[in-house]
């Protein structure tokens, strides 16, 4: 599946993992064009572990029933953290890009919730770096 910038999928090829693993698995490779023109590949078999996502982010962006394209992109950018940091030159620029990308895709998929999307973005912008540093993920 290939998606151009802000092109919304009719469905996201994902299956829920069992209750023990508490997450989702991508069932078909997705290639997404990001706002800066780069291609982000989310391979078949990619697992989104909802246990690794902070509870406050889960409440804002991650439903136990479905996966949004914005959350999927955000999650994949941060599993590719090293290459993102190398591309941007530092963690703060990389994180800022992923946060803005999250907002853009959220606004595209939920245009009537722009205020809520902005609130989600502000939470990510101000608190995600602290979370990643505290967990030793950066």
Q: What's the rounded mean pLDDT across residues 103-131?
A: 86
| pLDDT value for 112 | 92
Please determine, for residue 54, whether its predicted confidence score (pLDDT) is greater than 70.
Answer: no
What does pLDDT average to over the chain?
81
- The pTM assigned to this predicted structure is 0.79
Q: What integer pLDDT is reported at residue 135 of this predicted model?
A: 58
pLDDT digits (tens, 9 = 90+) for 66-107: 568 998 898 888 877 778 888 888 888 888 898 999 999 999
Which pLDDT value is given to residue 136? Answer: 58
By three-state DSSP, how is residue 48 classified? strand
pLDDT at residue 77, rounded to an integer: 87
With 60 as the cut, is the pLDDT of residue 126 above it?
A: yes
**Between 123 and 118, residue with greater pLDDT:** 118
Structure tokens at 86: 């190398």
Residue 66 corresponds to which tokens in the numbers above? 């479905």
Name the helix (H) or strand (E) containing 119.
helix 114-134
- Residue 97: closest CA among 66, 137, 125: 125
């Amino acid at each position: 599946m290939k998606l151009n910038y802000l092109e919304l999928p009719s469905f996201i090829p994902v299956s829920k993992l069992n209750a023990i693993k508490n997450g989702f698995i991508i069932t078909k490779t997705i290639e997404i064009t990001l706002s800066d023109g780069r291609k982000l590949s989310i391979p078949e078999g990619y697992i989104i572990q909802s246990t690794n996502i902070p509870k406050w982010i889960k409440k804002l962006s991650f439903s136990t029933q479905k996966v949004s394209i914005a959350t999927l992109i955000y999650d994949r950018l941060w599993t590719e953290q090293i290459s993102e940091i190398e591309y941007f030159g530092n963690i703060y620029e990389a994180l800022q890009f992923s946060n803005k990308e999250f907002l853009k895709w959220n606004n595209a998929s939920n245009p009537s919730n722009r205020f809520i999307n902005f609130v989600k973005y502000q939470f990510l912008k101000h608190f995600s770096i602290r979370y990643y540093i505290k967990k030793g993920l950066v």
